[in-house]
Chains A and B, each alone.
Chain A
Amino acid sequence: MSERNVPGRLASEGLTQGSRTRGGIGESTLRPDGTLKVTGEFAYASDLWHEDMLWGHTLRSPHAHARIRSVDVAEALATPGVYAVLTHDDLPAATRYGLEIQDTPVLADGVVRHHGEPVALVAADHPETARRAAAKIRVAYEELPVVTDETSATAPGAPVLHPGRTDGHAAHVPHPNIVHRQPVRRGDVAAAKARAAAVVTGEYEVGMQDQAFLGPESGLAVPAEDGGVDLYIATQWLHADLRQIAPVLGLPEDKVRMTLSGVGGAFGGREDLSMQAHACLLALRTGRPVKMVYDRFESFFGHVHRHPARLRYEHGADRDGRLLYVTARIVLDGGAYASSSPAVVGNAASLSVGPYECPNVDVEALALYTNNPPCGAMRGFGAVQACFAYEAQMDRLATELGLNPVEFRRRNAMSQGSVMPTGQAVDSPAPVAELLRRVKAMPMPPERQWETAGGGPDLRALPGGVANTTHGEGVVRGVGYAVGIKNVGFSEGFDDYSTARVRLECAGGEAVATVHTAMAEVGQGGVTVHAQIARTELGVSRVTIQPADTRVGSAGSTSASRQTYVTGGAVRHACATVRERVLALGRTKFGTYHPAWATAELLLEDGKIVTDGGEVLAALADVLEGEEPVEAEVEWRHRPTEPFDLRTGQGTGHVQYSFAAHRAVVEVDTELGLVKVVELACAQDVGKALNPLSVTGQIQGGSTQGLGLAVMEEIAVDPVTGKVRNPSFTDYLIPTILDTPAMPVDVLELADPHAPYGLRGVGEAPTLSSTPAVVAAIRQATGLALRRVPVRPEHLTGT
């Protein structure tokens, strides 16, 4: 089925089919945290408080690359109110950590490799005291030459940032300042070139985007009597943090107990550790609870960013507008430490051609070590950068062939059964052409929509907004299309599982379910969806979601559009196990009363056990009354994947693909170079919308984040010094509501037979195609080539 949403109208209207238990999957049940967040009452990790707690503060490097000659903490330590100052020399156990490669120092070990790298920690009885004491730490730096791009990082004699690498990628990279390199080769590009009727080549650049989550890094570490520590923390994956923190503290994992605190967004920026180990180290050193909260300025240095990229593409097509070959070279800047660069490279390489059939491919993607800020996970994860480039190429090739850009894409759109450049066949619906058709068919927003009945312009509807830069002068409309492909779940052979514990019991005469997972609710709505799944599977209305913590097994990361799929799948599977046990219990207690107990297919619905014909056999509460709670814990895995071949990139590397298409309508003040995105329409296949309202929210949020990359969002790093120039929301701009257009959303639900409920991960795909669609629209309005995002007024005015 498909459903059309317009802004202001709930996606759930008219959608009533599904479970007979209210509040189950397919309904737009409201999220429990929504009202609290809107009214400012939600407790975030930055609101944590403990009697007698100390405040931790981090001293960071002012240089992008320097040797530390000496560190003198005496004056800082002597400051009244200061309880501890820690440097690298004070670390009790492991001194490095990392998601994939343990290359990141807990505190700088004689060298700093990027601006803002943590050098020392202070714990004091007041945050201001801690900050002032940190300023008294005397660090003697000897500045070293910086490498900031591919040329400087791989030049003869370039400083090697991580000498003596022993990680799994070290052996196959062409230079030690390359983290990982992944080729993908399919078919015969040379032969295809000879047959090409149209060829376009282009070089593209993507700036460094920040996740800009609203709740800065924060947490509270409380030392325990058993020598361990309890950490309350805003993160994306409790167990990945645990795996990295425990060795740093020199503690077994069961002595480090973690509980998720209120998380204000993540978008990939909380996959890596920030202050987790630091707060625990200070707490264990002082024997006092220690809270750490970054301010906005520090937050820009406290997490990884989206990899900036330089991409060179060549596309060739035949006279009929069919792609013959694609070659590409994608260079991602990973910054000073590896973070998740290897996986980002795998995505960029394997998804580099986009959602198109192309028989001949020769691609390589690589990530560099440089002295720029470390880059890692961000919504779209390597696929965003590629999508900006390949969609620009598709538009140019369409022009070259004299074809409409949507028609050209339709001719090359992949579908179920298509084979990826990696050799992997797409074995579930891939409605790429249909998504494009749908966004193209949507009604266009009216022309000159800033004109009012009163005669004066509505400035809010014009480029520049109320800053009054135009009343229509210089304004030209443009329309652009784009479509993208994103993998769902962790890829390349990763053992990607989730754990769920579900309990059903009788409480107060009613059957109630409890769901316990370690899933990080970062704002995506997972808590809401878990309750919906439990209602549908167990037929109860009351579901309690336990706080996420490490008393239950890993739920994997709230990343890669995977949580509803994988942890949702685990919750569903645990519910099914509980259901079977409850039915067995019912048969034992009441089986003799009705033959259907033995013969019929039995369901749990609306608090009752019913036959598939709808006959009620027993109330769930009566079955559970006087019994021990029925509980099940399961680990659930999606289909296994395999690594990509290191030379050819061939392999069944991905679990599932998701697709979204956008049509952007923009108005550009061509004289001032200012852009107003008038409308950003999206069509996306979600397999099955477990919560249509949340799905629409994800699509609109992702589209907006893509819009931000298109026209404003960039961390500016000085190319000479490697220093960040705009670490604040004053100069790192994200879209305001006046920059956020109407976003009609068309949701397609074509079930993936391999996924729970047929669902398809939602969160990332809309972030991909949004950016190239907006830029394509600006190109149409201006006639400019625009090879770089974000597009700045200077690019549009030649200044």
Chain B
Amino acid sequence: MDFLRPDRWEDALAAKAEHPTAVPLAGGTDVMVEINFDHRRPTHLLDLTRIRDLYAWQTDGPDVRLGAAVPYARVIAELSGPLPGLALAARTVGSPQIRNRGSVGGNLGAASPAGDSHPALLAAGAVVEAESVRGTRLLPVEDFYTGVKRNALAPDELIRAVRIRKAAGPQQFAKVGTRNAMVIAVCAFGLALHPDTRTVRTGIGSAAPTPVRARAAEDFLTAALDEARCWETGRPVPPAAAAEFAALAAAACNPIDDVRGSAAYRRHAVGVMARRTLGWAWRQYTDGTTGERGERCA
């Protein structure tokens, strides 16, 4: 196993072009576990930790451009305002040590259906910046996940950044695990209200082969809120509409039975989380708050 340590992004792209099977490595919270367990044995490891650009974020018009290796701890500390859903998701990742090293870029690269950031990215509307020596591709995140632990990157591409629309409305994220911290998702749900476009977006984690949006639920709720003139009046979401939204979110799941949970439970729990997160987000909308509530972090 060869260890490549480029100093510059261009060198990293060149190395990836030369060694398409090279596995990129930043925090190592996923890759090193797989190597230690002998689950994978890449010919090359491509260490990206010298490329400081990957550890920075900027505001870029309506978006936050989040460097692929910015650790979760900094997403929580620095981006809870513009990216409240992602910050909530980041809080549920592993332990403090893992949050100090793990990053959204790594979550996308691994493309595990259980990755914690995916539902928040799907709900917020994120675009993945994939780059190679051939140029840059901008991939909407919902097109990025192509299968269990598979993504749309070409063999010579690396994730440089993720562009995430700054929150124009409340965002929520909830994740079920079978203990109260440090747990892989049994299932997770992300929800974002977009008052500027009067739309609702969602993301479901760990309840299908890939992270997915509950599009039928989104379309239904967007129409229902419109019809009941909720956006302009701020009146509560009709309970029947919230229930239907939850049922459609549950129906968007295509889960399996595994050691972490049953398929039936996952469907059920996604429905409950959809209903609850909608309730919280709508209350925030009507209260005029867009960010997180006053929850404290562990």
Contacts and interface: CB of A to CB of B under 8 A. Distances in A.
B167 to A, nearest CB: 16
Nearest to A795: B265
B294 A471 contact: no
B177 A467 contact: yes
Given A131-B38, A297-B37, A733-B183, A467 B174 contact: yes
Contact of B265 (A295, A736, A797): A797
B293 to A, nearest CB: 4
- Report which residue of A455, A739, A794 has the largest number of chain B beta carbons within 10 angstroms of its beta carbon: A794
A134 to B, nearest CB: 11
Given A456-B293, A736-B182, A738-B181, A469 B298 contact: no
A674 B298 contact: no
Given A295-B36, A465-B298, A470 B183 contact: no
Contacts of B265: 673, 793-794, 797, 799
Interface in B256-298: 259-262, 264-265, 267-269, 272-273, 276, 279-280, 293-298
A464 B176 contact: yes
B121 to A, nearest CB: 17
A671 B272 contact: yes
Nearest to A470: B276
Nearest to B264: A799
Nearest to B273: A469
A711 B179 CA distance: 8
Given A469-B176, A673-B265, A726 B259 contact: yes
A457 B295 contact: yes
A454 B294 CA distance: 7
A672 interface: yes
Given A468-B295, A469-B174, A793 B180 contact: no
Nearest to A726: B259
Interface residues of B, number: 40
B38 A469 contact: no
A731 B295 contact: no
A673 B184 CA distance: 17
Interface residues of A, number: 45
Given A468-B92, A793-B269, A463 B180 contact: yes
B268 A799 contact: yes
B117 interface: no
A110 interface: no
Given A672-B272, A673-B265, A676-B180, A731 B298 contact: no
A716 B259 contact: yes
A131 B179 CA distance: 33
Given A671-B272, A731-B184, A793-B265, A736 B179 contact: yes
Interface string A528-552: 0000000000000000000000000
B91 interface: yes
A622 to B, nearest CB: 56
A792 B261 CA distance: 9
Interface in A119-145: 131
A460 interface: yes
B245 interface: no
Interface string A431-471: 00000000000000000000010111111100111111111
A798 B168 CA distance: 38
A250 to B, nearest CB: 34
B297 A466 contact: yes
Contact of B180 (A731, A736, A799): A736
A454 B276 CA distance: 21
Nearest to A467: B175
A671 to B, nearest CB: 5
B176 A473 contact: no
B289 to A, nearest CB: 10
Interface string A717-742: 00000000110001101011111000
A672 B269 contact: yes
B178 interface: yes
Contacts of B88: 468
Contacts of A459: 295-296, 298
Nearest to A737: B181
Contacts of B108: none
Given A458-B295, A733-B178, A733-B183, A469 B276 contact: yes
Contact of B178 (A455, A671, A793, A799): A793
A456 B296 CA distance: 9
Interface in A460-507: 460, 463-471, 473-474
A458 B276 contact: no
Contacts of B37: 297
Contacts of B107: none
Nearest to A463: B180
Interface string A757-799: 0000000000000000000000000000000000011100101
Nearest to A792: B178
Interface in A298-348: none
B181 A739 contact: yes
Contacts of A793: 176, 178, 186, 261, 265, 269
Nearest to B276: A473
Contacts of B186: 793
B173 interface: yes
Interface in B77-92: 88, 91-92
B144 to A, nearest CB: 24
A712 interface: yes
A736 B181 contact: yes
Interface string B230-263: 0000000000000000000000000000011110
Contacts of A468: 88, 91-92, 172-175, 295
B69 to A, nearest CB: 23
B25 to A, nearest CB: 18
Contacts of B296: 452, 456, 458-460
B260 A731 contact: yes
Interface in A685-734: 711-712, 716, 725-726, 730-731, 733
Contacts of A458: 295-296
- Report which residue of A456, A457, A464 has the largest number of chain B beta carbons within 10 angstroms of its beta carbon: A464
Given A465-B180, A467-B175, A739-B180, A794 B276 contact: no
A466 B298 contact: yes
Nearest to B173: A468
A457 B283 CA distance: 14
A793 B178 CA distance: 7
- Report which residue of A297, A473, A672, A716 has the largest number of chain B beta carbons within 10 angstroms of its beta carbon: A672
Interface string B87-107: 010011000000000000000
A794 B261 contact: yes
A571 B178 CA distance: 45
Given A470-B276, A726-B259, A456 B294 contact: yes
Nearest to A728: B37
Contacts of A455: 294
Contacts of B295: 456-459, 466, 468
B281 to A, nearest CB: 12
Interface string A12-23: 000000000000
B181 A465 contact: yes
B293 A738 contact: no
B222 to A, nearest CB: 23
- Report which residue of A454, A458, A459 has the largest number of chain B beta carbons within 10 angstroms of its beta carbon: A459
27 contacts: A452-B294, A454-B294, A455-B294, A458-B296, A460-B296, A463-B180, A467-B176, A467-B181, A468-B173, A469-B276, A471-B280, A474-B272, A676-B180, A712-B179, A716-B259, A725-B259, A730-B184, A735-B179, A736-B181, A738-B181, A738-B298, A793-B178, A793-B265, A793-B269, A794-B261, A794-B262, A799-B262
Pick the 4 closest A-B CB pairs, nearest first.
A456-B294, A465-B180, A799-B265, A738-B181
Given A452-B296, A671-B272, A712-B178, 7 more contacts: A456-B295, A458-B295, A467-B176, A672-B269, A733-B178, A797-B265, A799-B265
Interface of B: 36-38, 88, 91-92, 172-184, 186, 259-262, 264-265, 267-269, 272-273, 276, 279-280, 293-298
